[in-house]
Amino acid sequence: MRRKRIGTSVPSDISQAAAADPSIDQRGRIMDVAAHLFRTKGYSGTSTREISSLIGIQKASLYHHIDSKEALLYELCVDATQRILDRATVIAAENQEPIIKLRALMRQHAITMLDSQDRHATMLIELLHGSLTGERRAAVDSLRDKYQSVLYSAIRECQQVGDVRTDWNARDLTLAALSLLNWTVFWFDDQGRLTKSQVADLLTSTFLDGVKDQH
């Protein structure tokens, strides 16, 4: 198998649709189905047989497209992390007020994450579970670190111009922001009451303003 590219041609993350859609190539289909199964059953709780079965091929045929189960997980994690880092880098480079940039960074984090919910949920959990090892683990960690630096710098900058409180340091506030944002990927329901945009508003508004009535 040769590595053709990182990620798939479509942002869709839903395995059932992916399994049927003829416009996605087989490799993209495999990644979408795998991401969905990894999120809902866990990486080690998902067998290669289940993946191939949902695609409609034999287990052995899967290995024509992927090197190994772990390599498949790796690509999903890189794709998720890279996507969020790329968009954050663009926002951070804009010539805008710090607080506007911070809000935009948080909004894109929420929305990008929910746009590829299966991949992001998988990435977050499987990094905790140590399912990626060696260089693959290091590569994904590196991308995450870069992203977190971008968010940290944005918060630090807001503090320096007096837009954000300084009784907590930027490092701690970054942890709080990430907590608020990351857990969302595990409960958000695409068919649910709230849209992605509304969730993004809820989270940024809570983080920036808090919930106490200020009047």
Partner DNA sequence: GTCTATAAAGAGATAGAC
Partner DNA sequence: GTCTATCTCTTTATAGAC
- Binding residues for a copy of itself (CB under 8 A): 39-45, 99, 121, 124-125, 128-131, 155, 162-166, 168, 172-173, 175-184, 186-187, 194, 202-203, 205-214
Q: Which does 63 bind (CB under 5 to 8 A by kind): a copy of itself, DNA, none?
A: DNA
To DNA, the closest distance from the beta carbon of 186 in angstroms equals 23
CB contact at 8 A, 83 and 146 = no
As given in the structure block, the two tokens for residue 178 are 């990430």
Binding of residue 9 to DNA (CB under 7 A): no
3-state secondary structure of 178: helix
As given in the structure block, the two tokens for residue 204 are 């940024």
Cα 127-41-21 angle, rounded to 5 deg: 100
Q: Which does 125 bind (CB under 5 to 8 A by kind): a copy of itself, DNA, none?
A: a copy of itself
Question: What are the residues whose beta carbons fall under 8 Å from the beta carbon of 123, sequence distance 6 or more?
Answer: 76, 77, 80, 81, 140
Q: Which of residues 69-88 bind DNA (CB under 7 A)?
A: 69-70
Question: What are the residues whose beta carbons fall under 8 Å from the beta carbon of 151, sequence distance 6 or more?
Answer: 88, 105, 109, 174, 177, 178
Q: Tell me the per-residue interface mask from 51 to 70 with DNA, x by CB under 7 A, - otherwise.
A: -x---xxxxxx-xxx--xxx
Binding site for DNA (CB under 7 A): 26, 46-50, 52, 56-61, 63-65, 68-70
